[in-house]
C-alpha cells in the first residue's frame, strides 16, 4: 500500500487541487489584462496589505471591463498568457509549519470527513 491516506485527506487534496487550478487560471486572466501584474518578475515589491489592495482593484477593474465589453490585448501584443506554477512558500519557522499543519488538519476534519 503505497502512500496510503485517509479518504478525508484525499478529498481535501482533490478539492485543494481544483481550487488551485481556478486561482491560477484567474491570475492568468488578470496578468493578461494588467501588465503591471505580469511584468513583475513574479513578485510585487509592496507590503502584503498593499498587494492585496492591488489585486482586489485589478479584479474590480477586470469585472468592470467585462461588463463594458473591453477586449483583452490583441494576441500579437499580449505577453505570454500562460499561468506559471506557484512554488510553495518555504517556511524556516518550525512553529509556523506546525500551525499550518494544524490548520490543514482542522479543515480536513471539519469539511472532508
Secondary structure letter of residue 3 according to DSSP: T
Mean pLDDT over all residues of the chain? Answer: 77
Given a contact cutoff of 8 angstroms between Cβ atoms, the answer to whether 27 and 77 are in contact is no
**What are the φ/ψ torsions at residue 2 (nearest 5 degrees)?**
-95, 140
pLDDT, tens digit (0-9, with 9 covering 90-100), for 37-62:
876 666 778 888 988 899 899 999 99
Q: Tell me the pTM.
A: 0.55
Angle at 22 between CA 105 and CA 106, to 5 degrees: 10
Res 20: pLDDT: 92
pLDDT, tens digit (0-9, with 9 covering 90-100), for 72-84:
765 434 444 444 4
Amino acid at each position: 500500500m503505497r502512500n496510503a491516506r485517509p479518504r478525508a485527506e484525499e478529498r481535501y487534496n482533490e478539492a485543494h487541487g481544483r481550487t488551485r487550478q481556478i486561482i491560477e487560471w484567474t491570475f492568468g486572466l488578470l496578468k493578461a489584462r494588467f501588465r503591471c501584474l505580469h511584468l513583475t518578475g513574479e513578485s510585487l515589491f509592496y507590503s502584503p496589505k498593499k498587494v492585496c489592495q492591488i489585486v482586489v482593484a485589478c479584479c474590480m477593474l477586470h469585472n468592470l471591463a467585462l461588463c463594458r465589453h473591453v477586449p483583452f490585448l490583441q494576441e500579437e501584443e499580449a505577453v505570454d498568457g500562460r499561468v506559471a506554477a506557484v512554488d510553495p512558500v518555504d517556511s524556516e519557522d518550525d512553529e509556523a509549519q506546525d500551525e499550518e499543519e494544524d490548520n490543514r488538519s482542522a479543515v480536513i476534519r471539519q469539511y472532508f470527513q
